[in-house]
Amino acid sequence: MTLTAPDPTVEGAARVAVPRTWLMCRPEHFTVEYRINPWMHPEHPTDTSRALAQWQRLHDLYVELGHDVRLIDPEPGLPDMVYAANGGFTIDGIAYAPRFAHPERAGEAPAYSRWFADNGFRLVEAAETNEGEGDFLLVGDTILAGTGFRSSNSSHEEVGRVFDREVVSLELVDPRFYHLDTALAVLDPVTPAVGAPNIAYLPGAFDDRSRAELERRYPDAVLVSDEDAVWLGLNCISDGYNVVIAERATGFEASLRERGYNPIGVDLSELLLGGGGVKCCTLELRY
* Predicted pLDDT at 192: 53
Domain 21-284 has what CATH class? alpha beta
Q: Which residues of the chain have pLDDT under 50?
A: 1-12
* Predicted pLDDT at 172: 98
**Other residues' Cβ atoms within 10 Å of the Cβ of residue 40:** 16
Name the 3-class secondary structure at 84: helix
- Amino acid found at 32: V
Chain centroid offset of residue 90 CA: 13
What residues does each domain of the chain span? 21-284
Confirm whether 179 is a catalytic residue.
yes
Q: What is the pTM of this model?
A: 0.93
* Predicted pLDDT at 194: 52
Candidates 25, 236, 280, 281; catalytic one: 280
**What's the pLDDT tens digit per position in 96-147?**
999 999 999 999 999 999 999 999 999 999 999 999 999 999 999 999 999 9
Instruction: Give the integer Cα–Cα distance in Å for 222 and 201.
Output: 7
Which helix (H) or strand (E) element contains residue 91? strand 89-91
Confirm whether 236 is a catalytic residue.
no
* Predicted pLDDT at 198: 87
The backbone torsions φ and ψ at residue 132, rounded to the nearest 5 degrees and listed phi first, read 60, -140
User: Do residues 69 and 113 make contact, with C-beta atoms less than 8 angstroms apart?
Assistant: no
* Predicted pLDDT at 14: 81
Candidates 59, 179, 236, 281; catalytic one: 179
